[in-house]
Chain A
Amino acid sequence: MKNNSRRGFMGKAFGAVAAVGAVASLFAMKKSWDPLPSVKAAGFTTLDMSGYNENELVTEKWRGKPIFVLKYTKEMVAAFNETQMGRTIKMSDDHYMVNLGLCTHLGCIPSYEKDNASFLCACHGGTYDITGDVTKAPPPRGLDIPPFRIEGNKLVLGEEGPEYKKMLADGITLKA
């Protein structure tokens, strides 16, 4: 019947208009769920690299996670092989370890064994060398390197500078 199909059409048309409103509301709801600007802003930590002493491990914080920062001595750097050199961050004449202090196996925080110049994860026995490269299973890879950008003698964690991008391209670390 003509009326029925017209009625069916108008009903569907109205339904479509209502659906547009519903979708727009869902969009607004999704945005409300997003992390807040203050949270995203806190996602950047600036480290003043002039404040670190040689061969002294300092644990900083970035996005709520621990960051191992270790300033290498000249002797340590001289003994590094290519893989180890690739993992260090060079700023003017100094070399630093800046690694996420979370075991790449299941996320526990490895402890620093200063005497053996290594890191040992108590959870399942994984070990890393002084540059964070993995030396004993079960961790699948070395400690991750957080995105960083060099700004003078400061390091901004959370931003991707050219040195970090190169590390990603060379497969030295995975994207966080």
Chain B
Amino acid sequence: MAHFTKATSVKDWLNQRLAIEKVEKVLASEYWIPKNINFLWAMGMVLMITFMLLIVSGIFLLMYYQPNVDTAFYSVNYTIMREVDFGWLWRHVHGVAASVVFLIIYIHMFTGIYYGSYKKGREMIWISGMLLFVAFSAEAFSGYMLPWGQMSYWAGMVITNLFAGGSLHADGLVEWIRGDYVPAQAFLSRFFMLHVLLIPLAILGLIGLHFGALRIPHVNNQDGEEIDFDVEAKKYLDGDKAGSKVIRFANDFMAKDMLVVAVYLVFFFYLVFYHYGFAMDPVNFDPADGLKTPAHIYPEWYFLWSYEILRPFSTDIGLMAFAFAQVIFVALPFLDRSPNTVPASRRGLFRFWFWAMLIDMIVLTSMGKLPPEGAFSTIGFVAALTFIGLWILLPIITTFEKKA
């Protein structure tokens, strides 16, 4: 039995039992963050806030949503949007947040690629981050099924059809996933389960892993400089705050984080109240009809680049390209053969690789939305080939990269 003394205060009582002071130091006041960072470093906090907005708004939607093919659409568009006080607010927050979270994820991801924050001990942060991307993608897809509009139904139909594996004709697998021959009650119920329980639990676990993976290597900085955190922390604690290369997570980093979050929330709430059409596609305001395909079916914007890699090729090749696109980002730490942990601007050819990849993904995204005709399909095809080409090039150009 550990030794306990009579407590001198509530804080002391808790401290003897839960070591709250130590926890506070490790997670907050003595969790050292480099000073040499910019606002992009706040994207993690922005993601946490957005995720919390999704959970809170989700809780209130969950109180009234009915996961039944006959009443789902009504429960969302009548009960929640018209009857529940502020129901429309939770729905708008949830829809906009679900879309904007991917914008922040992509910014966060590309920040990591630019500054080499996936290298030299940070590989697990990258891998857990990519797993989070997959989890969020699954969460978004399952969530989109729930209003049971035309897009819900047909996106469900198309994406589950992918699992037939082209020439493999694994129709049995497709039916097993759906629980029926077509997306119907079984399909809706299980995706409701995934969306509300299983995937959120997975996300929480992965966030824990992501944070844990960050703790030892510490946060990266704008120059990729390897900082001796003990030395710099001592400087800070001895009083030389301006001279130290590090700051406390709480309240130093948090204060700047909160400012970035505040500006982000202005943008976010503007979208929620005034400009939400991009997040709530008009096609999904038609109730699901299994006997009528909409003139244009497309996934949400954040899946378009991936969708466009699937489209230009014949079925089997397209599926292989699609599978490649899903997993290749995870391999980044191992495909980048250079040990240089510096910003892309100082990495020779990698600089061009970075901008080419970013622009290519934007081209793929826009082509993915457009009808696959004429110039659009040609550009999409070229962009898809470029994507594959860039990944093949990566190990080559980084092998020959000059040491920074």
Do any beta carbons of A and B sit within 8 angstroms of each other in the complex?
Answer: yes
A binding-site residues for B, Cβ under 8 Å = 11, 14, 25, 28-29, 31-34, 36-38
Nearest-CB distance from A139 to chain B (Å)? 36
**A-side contacts of B60, CB under 8 Å:** 29, 32
B85 touches A31 (CB 8 A): yes
9 pairs of residues in contact across A and B, judged by CB atoms under 8 Å: A11-B255, A28-B89, A29-B60, A29-B86, A31-B86, A32-B60, A32-B87, A36-B79, A38-B83
Q: Tell whether B90 is near chain A: CB-to-CB under 8 Å.
A: yes
B87 touches A37 (CB 8 A): no
**A-side contacts of B79, CB under 8 Å:** 36
Query: For window 209-267 of chain B, which residues contact chain A by CB distance below 8 Å?
Result: 251, 255, 258
Q: Is the interface of A mostly helix, strand, loop or mixed?
A: helix
Most buried by A among B79, B84, B258: B84
Contact of B86 among A11, A14, A32 (CB under 8 A): A32
**A-side contacts of B83, CB under 8 Å:** 36-38
B60 closest partner in A (C-beta): A32
Query: For window 29-69 of chain B, which residues contact chain A by CB distance below 8 Å?
Result: 56, 60, 63
B258 closest partner in A (C-beta): A14
Contact of B251 among A11, A25, A34 (CB under 8 A): A11
**A-side contacts of B251, CB under 8 Å:** 11
Nearest-CB distance from A19 to chain B (Å)? 14
B83 closest partner in A (C-beta): A36
Nearest-CB distance from A43 to chain B (Å)? 15
CA gap between A28 and B56 in the complex, in Å: 12
A32 touches B258 (CB 8 A): no
Nearest-CB distance from A27 to chain B (Å)? 9
The 3 closest A-B pairs by CB, nearest first: A31-B85, A28-B86, A36-B83
CA gap between A32 and B64 in the complex, in Å: 10
A17 closest partner in B (C-beta): B262
A25 closest partner in B (C-beta): B56
A34 touches B85 (CB 8 A): yes
A36 touches B89 (CB 8 A): no
Contact of B85 among A11, A14, A32, A38 (CB under 8 A): A32
CA gap between A38 and B82 in the complex, in Å: 11
A36 touches B84 (CB 8 A): yes
**B-side contacts of A25, CB under 8 Å:** 56
**B-side contacts of A37, CB under 8 Å:** 83
CA gap between A165 and B130 in the complex, in Å: 67
**B-side contacts of A36, CB under 8 Å:** 79, 83-84
**A-side contacts of B258, CB under 8 Å:** 14
B86 touches A33 (CB 8 A): no
A33 touches B63 (CB 8 A): yes
**A-side contacts of B90, CB under 8 Å:** 32
CA gap between A29 and B60 in the complex, in Å: 8
A11 closest partner in B (C-beta): B251
CA gap between A32 and B91 in the complex, in Å: 12
CA gap between A11 and B252 in the complex, in Å: 11
**B-side contacts of A33, CB under 8 Å:** 63
**A-side contacts of B85, CB under 8 Å:** 28, 31-32, 34
B85 closest partner in A (C-beta): A31
B86 closest partner in A (C-beta): A28
CA gap between A11 and B258 in the complex, in Å: 11
**B-side contacts of A11, CB under 8 Å:** 251, 255
CA gap between A25 and B93 in the complex, in Å: 12
Most buried by A among B85, B87, B251: B85
A34 closest partner in B (C-beta): B85
List 20 additional A-B contacts (Cβ < 8 Å) besides A32-B87, A36-B84.
A11-B255, A14-B258, A28-B85, A28-B86, A29-B56, A29-B60, A29-B86, A31-B85, A31-B86, A32-B63, A32-B84, A32-B85, A32-B86, A32-B90, A33-B63, A34-B85, A36-B79, A36-B83, A37-B83, A38-B83
Query: For window 76-102 of chain B, which residues contact chain A by CB distance below 8 Å?
Result: 79, 83-87, 89-90
CA gap between A32 and B258 in the complex, in Å: 28
Nearest-CB distance from B63 to chain A (Å)? 7
**B-side contacts of A34, CB under 8 Å:** 85
CA gap between A143 and B89 in the complex, in Å: 44
CA gap between A113 and B90 in the complex, in Å: 53
A28 closest partner in B (C-beta): B86
Nearest-CB distance from A80 to chain B (Å)? 45
**B-side contacts of A38, CB under 8 Å:** 83
CA gap between A25 and B251 in the complex, in Å: 25
B90 closest partner in A (C-beta): A32
Nearest-CB distance from B297 to chain A (Å)? 33
CA gap between A29 and B90 in the complex, in Å: 9
CA gap between A32 and B90 in the complex, in Å: 9
A18 closest partner in B (C-beta): B258
**A-side contacts of B255, CB under 8 Å:** 11
A39 closest partner in B (C-beta): B83
CA gap between A108 and B233 in the complex, in Å: 71
**A-side contacts of B63, CB under 8 Å:** 32-33
